[in-house]
């Protein structure tokens, strides 16, 4: 069946949940531009096809980002040949099939991978040791297989969020030390994996840890959480182990389950952490009852499916609404014959069977009195009900205002609906006053058109940056809404993290992670006192490129930033670059892929100006400005300007000269360093600049006049990684040096020519 549709499969085509049978057609391997192969939830069987001398296969799909083949009947081994180092895969989902044999070691060659799902198969053998090369991996599921040997080592996988190794037959082992080094880990499942020994205290200090599932092992000793545990931790499940003691914690809302451990025997059996109710069962694995069969209807009954068909309701994708079903079931419709005239009335016949006594004067008077009294009582009752309903409505409205952080959102003023959030915390104004010592001058760390930025200290000691709008701000409700909506759903180490917001008492505030080394603009201009050598500039360029590539290619839906510039690239304590300030950003749906017609934002003074007449930022893509067709390539242009800024130490527009044109005029590719040494940043001009020519070529390709001629951000990332390898740097290595050990400009030194005090800046967060 699939063979008939293979040739019509085009980029980003999904064929999931269609009950397709048969085998995967090898001819799919000929679709060289395929972006997503999604055959999830079908009845496909047989092996995974790979190419040979005469037949194509899935290993030929080197440009494909997604292999979604889960929930089928695929069998046989996963071929070694299916993975290679030149592939662009980010998702490999083979879960819930009948695959056997070992995990191919070639999987560790696909360094772009972010999600791997091999769970619920019959895989065997040991886990390949080279999987820890996948330093971009965020989710790894290997549960419910027959994997054996020693527990694999995933040290160095700092982006890993979710790890599930449950229900395998690994060799008996203590909890490996590398688990405590996974700084991004949020969820750890290692149920029934032959673990023994004590649970290390430092496991719970991982900053992002939320869930730990270690039940059905042989863990023993005393469970100690410690004092430095993650403030996001909410579940620790250690059922069916050998835990004999517990150093309890108070005042924290963490669900701890120790049922079926020695500590819960006899007198402690009723302790909260020894009781497991049906509602708080934590297992990820459930088996449906074998006797759960669909109900049948007798000859005088109609199934729900037949009901939908008879009422012309779609049955392939039915969304049930109780109110709609109730209306259809409980209403009758009267349709008069088409050949008669209306209007139509229902007229009741007179009823003449009452006794004549009802016509006597006494009975008539009684009826009148009774009717008056009854009417009065009914009126009084209606009045009481109305008063009660009015008071309840006011009470409910007041409660809604108190619980809804956007209850006072002015739709008319902002021209937008209220923000839709995904996890950002709502801070009260009084909390933020306390954290900033009443917004004291000592905590004032930056300013700009939006308002001021304050340093705050949370109760757990964590530093935050609080961006507070002021009256008359150049940004309004739309920018505030955009930034909290986007950043609450975006999580990447090269994108600044939004912790929460405040929207009350006429205030609009955004609370971010504290980024101590300010912006790239400040560092290039000499304001921060940090000197950037060539290798550190490459590292910063790579981090910023990775953050932007994540927004373009991996965020769902993709995001166009629209305001890439040096003041919006922040540097943390290790000088890791973080993309910031999403006030002008825009989500791009699949239907809008290619271009979006939108109002030009940001950096130009008026239409039809030569680039030399742009304002002092000069990052805006001229094609976007002239056509108003917004694509990801507009961000690529801005990033190219940023790269030139990093090597020259000059602002994009300086003394009426535009950096792109100046580099283009001065560049001579026949000479050393393209003859650009005279316009390079003095801080690096006299140092070894291996790979500079390739870096300049990349920057100039990003600022090509036509967006179609510019690379994607994913291609930019790969090119910077290649340059770093030429220099002898490891693109995936984390710097172990704190910012305090970086070079610092000597006191009394000449101000950097890049400085311009007229440009408002923030030492922690661009505004």
Per-residue model confidence as pLDDT tens digits over 168-220: 999 999 999 889 889 899 999 999 999 999 999 889 889 889 899 999 999 99
How big is the chain, counted in residues? 767
Are 482 and 732 within 8 A, CB to CB?
no
CATH superfamily entry for domain 406-514: Phosphorylase Kinase; domain 1 (3.30.200.20)
Residue the block writes with tokens 């004032």: 444
The pLDDT of residue 251? 61
CA distances (Å), origin 33, targets 9, 29, 91, 558, 559:
10, 10, 16, 19, 22
In CATH, the number for domain 518-744+752-767 is: 1.10.510.10
Per-residue model confidence as pLDDT tens digits over 704-722: 999 999 999 999 999 999 9
Mean pLDDT of 443-457: 83
Enumerate the domain spans of the chain.
2-171, 199-277, 406-514, 518-744+752-767
Per-residue model confidence as pLDDT tens digits over 625-673: 888 888 999 999 999 999 999 999 999 998 889 999 999 999 999 999 9
Q: Tell me what the pLDDT averaged over the chain comes to.
A: 78
Please provide the DSSP assignment of 250-282 as one string.
-S---EEE-TTSGGGSGGGTTSGGG---GGG--
Tokens of 374: 């009854």
Say yes or no to pLDDT of 587 above 50.
yes
Say yes or no to pLDDT of 148 above 90.
yes
pLDDT band at 306 (very low <50, low <70, confident <90, very high): low
CA-wise closest residue to 406 among 335, 495, 478, 502: 502
Q: Work out whether strand 73-77 and strand 98-101 pair parallel, antiparallel, or are unpaired.
A: parallel
d(CA 356, CA 361): 11
| Region of 158 on the Ramachandran plot (φ > 0 left; ψ -120 to 50 alpha; else beta) | alpha
CA-wise closest residue to 105 among 78, 87, 138, 80: 80
The pLDDT of residue 471? 63
The pLDDT of residue 398? 62
Tokens of 517: 């080394």
The count of C-alpha atoms lying within 13 angstroms of the C-alpha of 591, restricted to the half-sphere facing its C-beta, is 0
262-271 long-range Cβ contacts below 8 angstroms, 24+ apart: none
Our CA angle for 276, 280, 281, nearest 5°, is 75
Dihedral sign for Cα 25, 29, 32, 34, please: positive
Say yes or no to pLDDT of 760 above 50.
no
Percentage of the chain exceeding pLDDT 90: 43
CA 382, distance to chain mean position in Å, is 52
Lowest mean pLDDT among 159-163, 346-350, 354-358, 574-578: 354-358
Catalytic amino acids?
A: 563
Burial of 595 (0-12, 13-18, 19+ CB in 10 A): middle
Read off the pTM: 0.46
The count of C-alpha atoms lying within 13 angstroms of the C-alpha of 515, restricted to the half-sphere facing its C-beta, is 34
Per-residue model confidence as pLDDT tens digits over 551-561: 999 988 899 99
d(CA 447, CA 429): 20
Say yes or no to pLDDT of 409 above 60.
no
The pLDDT of residue 400? 52
CA dihedral 439, 442, 443, 446 (to 10 degrees): 110
635's CB contacts (< 8 A; 6+ apart) are 548, 551, 552, 560, 561, 562, 564, 713
In CATH, the number for domain 2-171 is: 3.80.10.10
Between 19 and 315, residue with greater pLDDT: 19
The pLDDT of residue 141? 95
The pLDDT of residue 285? 41
CA 167, distance to chain mean position in Å, is 28
Helix/strand/coil for 307: helix
d(CA 729, CA 726): 7
The pLDDT of residue 670? 93
434 is in an annotated binding site: no
Query: Looking at residue 647, what DSSP letter applies?
Result: H
Lowest mean pLDDT among 47-51, 367-371, 537-541: 367-371
Per-residue model confidence as pLDDT tens digits over 58-73: 999 999 999 999 999 9
pLDDT band at 363 (very low <50, low <70, confident <90, very high): low
What are φ and ψ of residue 676, in 5° steps?
-105, 5
Say yes or no to pLDDT of 358 above 90.
no
Query: Any bridge partners for residue 501, and if so which?
Result: 426, 510
């Amino acid at each position: 069946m699939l063979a008939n549709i293979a040739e019509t499969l085009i980029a980003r085509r999904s064929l999931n949940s269609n009950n397709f049978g048969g085998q995967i057609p090898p001819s799919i391997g000929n679709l060289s531009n395929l972006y997503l192969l999604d055959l999830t939830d079908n009845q496909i069987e047989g092996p995974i096809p790979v190419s040979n001398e005469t037949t194509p296969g899935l290993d030929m799909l080197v440009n494909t980002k997604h292999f979604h083949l889960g929930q089928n009947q695929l069998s046989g081994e996963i071929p070694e040949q299916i993975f290679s180092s030149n592939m662009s895969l980010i998702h490999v989902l083979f879960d819930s099939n009948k695959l056997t044999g070992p995990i191919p070691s070639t999987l560790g060659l696909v360094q772009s991978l972010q999600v791997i799902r091999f769970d619920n198969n019959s895989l065997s053998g040991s886990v390949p040791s080279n999987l820890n090369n996948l330093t971009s991996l965020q989710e790894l599921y290997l549960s419910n297989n027959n994997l054996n040997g020693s527990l694999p080592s995933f040290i160095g996988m700092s982006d890993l969020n979710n790890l599930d190794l449950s229900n395998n037959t690994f060799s008996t082992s203590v909890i490996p030390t590398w688990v405590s080094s996974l700084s991004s880990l949020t969820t750890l499942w290692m149920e029934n994996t032959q673990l023994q020994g004590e649970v290390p205290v430092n496991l719970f200090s991982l900053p992002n840890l939320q869930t730990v599932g270690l039940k059905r092992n042989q863990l023993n000793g005393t469970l100690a959480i410690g004092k430095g545990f993650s403030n996001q931790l909410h579940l620790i499940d250690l059922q069916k182990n050998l835990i004999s003691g517990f150093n309890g914690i108070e005042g924290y809302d963490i669900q701890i389950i120790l049922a079926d451990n020695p500590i819960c025997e006899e007198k402690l059996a009723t302790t909260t952490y020894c009781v497991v109710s049906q509602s708080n069962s934590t297992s990820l694995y459930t088996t449906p009852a074998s006797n759960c069969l669909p109900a049948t209807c007798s000859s005088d009954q109609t199934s729900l499916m037949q009901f939908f068909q008879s009422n012309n309701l779609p049955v392939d994708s039915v969304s049930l609404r109780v109110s709609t079903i109730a209306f259809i079931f409980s209403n009758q419709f009267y349709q008069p014959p088409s050949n008669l005239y209306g209007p139509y009335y229902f007229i009741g016949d007179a009823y003449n069977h009452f006794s004549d006594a009802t016509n006597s004067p006494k009975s008539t008077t009684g009826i009148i009195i009774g009717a008056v009294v009854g009417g009065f009582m009914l009126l009084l009752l209606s009045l009481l009900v109305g008063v009660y309903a009015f008071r309840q409505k006011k009470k409910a409205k007041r409660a809604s205002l108190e619980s809804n952080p956007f209850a006072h959102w002015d739709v008319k003023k902002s021209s937008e609906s209220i923000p839709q959030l995904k996890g950002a915390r709502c801070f009260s104004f009084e909390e933020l006053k306390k954290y900033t010592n009443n917004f004291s001058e000592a905590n004032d760390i930056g300013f700009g058109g939006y308002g001021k930025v304050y340093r705050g200290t949370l109760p757990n000691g964590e530093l935050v940056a609080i961006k507070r709008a002021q009256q008359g701000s150049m940004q309004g409700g739309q920018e505030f809404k955009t930034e909290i909506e986007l950043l609450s759903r975006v999580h990447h180490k090269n994108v600044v993290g939004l912790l929460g917001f405040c929207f009350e008492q006429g205030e609009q505030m955004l609370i971010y992670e504290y980024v101590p080394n300010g912006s790239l603009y400040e560092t290039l201009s000499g304001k921060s006192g940090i000197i950037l050598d060539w290798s550190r500039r490459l590292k910063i360029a790579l981090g910023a490129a990775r953050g932007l590539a994540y927004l373009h290619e991996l965020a769902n839906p993709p995001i166009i930033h629209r305001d890439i510039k040096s003041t919006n690239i922040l540097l943390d304590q290790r000088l890791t670059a973080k993309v910031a300030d999403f006030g002008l950003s825009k989500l791009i749906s699949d239907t809008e892929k290619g271009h979006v017609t939108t109002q030009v934002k940001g950096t130009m003074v008026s239409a039809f100006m030569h680039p030399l007449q742009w304002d002092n930022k000069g990052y805006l893509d001229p094609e976007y400005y002239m056509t108003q067709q917004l694509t990801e390539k507009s961000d690529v242009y801005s990033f190219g300007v940023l790269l030139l800024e990093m090597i020259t130490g000059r602002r994009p527009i300086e003394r009426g000269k535009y950096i792109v044109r100046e580099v283009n005029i001065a560049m001579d590719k026949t000479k050393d360093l393209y003859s650009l040494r005279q316009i390079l940043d003095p801080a690096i001009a006299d140092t070894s600049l291996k790979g500079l020519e390739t870096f300049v070529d990349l920057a100039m390709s990003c600022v090509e006049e036509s967006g179609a001629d510019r690379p994607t951000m994913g291609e930019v990332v790969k090119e910077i990684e290649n340059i770093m390898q030429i220099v002898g740097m490891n693109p995936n290595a984390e710097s172990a040096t704190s910012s305090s050990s970086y070079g610092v400009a000597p006191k009394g030194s000449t101000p950097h020519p890049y400085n311009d005090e007229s440009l408002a800046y923030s030492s922690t967060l661009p505004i």
